[in-house]
Structure 1
Amino acid sequence: MKLIATLATCFNKPASVIQELIPQNTQFAQYGHACQLEGGDVMHAHDFVPLRSDSQDKSFVQYQLAVDKFAHLPHRAPEFHLQDFFGKILCFVIVDIPHSPIHNIKADSFIYAFISQVKISEPATNQCGINYYKDLGPTEFVGLNQIKCVVGCIKDCGKWSIIDQSRLLAQAVAECN
């Protein structure tokens, strides 16, 4: 059902239209690896790629979603802004949408990451931008183009810190110049 809601939002169509296009018993191709184009990060799906003790867990990512800042006000017109999230990729799913002239939808394929969102317990307050979390939260489908980068996670004193390597590298380069 979450995938139907995601696609309904993507196409700006009612969920019933998407359910017509994608029957309930549809099997989707699932994958354990994905790579962003133009030198982007290689990402692993936690449920498909076993983690070796000597390697980085490449299933944790930072991604951006458009969030309605007035979602709590049902009669107010939505006003969207981009918000950063962190999460663990469980799998990658390819969704093929068939052509539907009745609903003005062209045939296309989409790649989604099924992500368990990280519940931030201590938001970043310092210059390094390190967030802390203890648990994973709800799951959601996120378009591959919405994923910004792979992030690292380090356990310290019973909580996990999220290390955005691109941000730290950018700061190190800026400090050297």
Structure 2
Amino acid sequence: MEQWGKVRRLDGGDTMLAAGLISHQRDSRDATFVRYETLVDKHAHQCNLPPTYEKQTFYGRLHHIFVVHIPFTLALKVDGPTTIFLTALSTCKLKPTPSSLSSLDIHFYSNLNDALDIVDIVCLQCLVGRMPIDGGRQWAIIDRSGNLARAVFED
């Protein structure tokens, strides 16, 4: 397994940095906060129901990028040797958005979750900006991609 410090979306996309490997300069922008989208089971807490997946959008800080090389193994049911790219992120604990700002796609948070989410790297969508508010006790997330730049999941 390898660790990488940064990754770039194809076709001129954003370069996202892993906070765990890249030192942050105080006079530069923080390119570790991202928007990511995953499929979440609506019935995860009801084990008697079959899973029903829906797309959810999350904002968080990218901590690690892992590259896992898997050799050909019949037990894993893969066609041959394969490489998997995973990311570890701490999710922003979003606060309710005031109705006056809901059309602007601005979200607010003050803390990150302690536990890390491990997701496939294709879930990463883009960098997001942050702006301190309320004397630095809260942050506003500025998602410059808008509602048109969202992932499409297929069965």
User: What range describes the TM-score normalised by the shorter chain of this pair?
Assistant: 0.7 to 0.9
Structure 1 residue 108: Cα displacement:
0.6
How many residue pairs were aligned?
143
Between structures 1 and 2, the one with greater helix share: 1
Q: Which structure is larger by alpha-carbon Rg, 1 or 2?
A: 1
SS, match of residue 48 in structure 2:
coil
CA distance in 1, matches of 2:38, 2:62: 15
Where in structure 2 are there 5+ consecutive unaligned residues? 150-155
TM-score (norm. length: structure 2): 0.84
In the alignment, structure 1 segments of 5+ residues that lack a partner are 1-27, 171-177
Distance in 1 between residues matched to 2:84 and 2:13, nearest whole Å: 18
C-alpha displacement of 1:103: 3.7
Question: Partners in 1 of 2:3 and 2:66 — Cα distance?
Answer: 5
Provide the alpha-carbon RMSD of the alignment.
2.0
CA 1:124 to 1:43, structure 2 compared with 1: closer, same or farther past 3 Å?
farther
* Counterpart in the other structure of 1:64: 37
Quote the Cα distance in structure 1 between the aligned partners of 2:2 and 2:76.
25
Structure 1 segment 140-155 matched on structure 2, within 5 A = 140-155=117-132
Q: Is the 8 A contact 1:124 1:131 kept in 2?
A: no
Report SS of the residue matched to 2:122: helix
The percent identity for this pair of structures is 29
The structure with higher relative contact order (CA 8 Å, sep 6+) is 2
Which of the pair is proportionally richer in strand?
2
TM-score (ref. length: structure 1) = 0.75
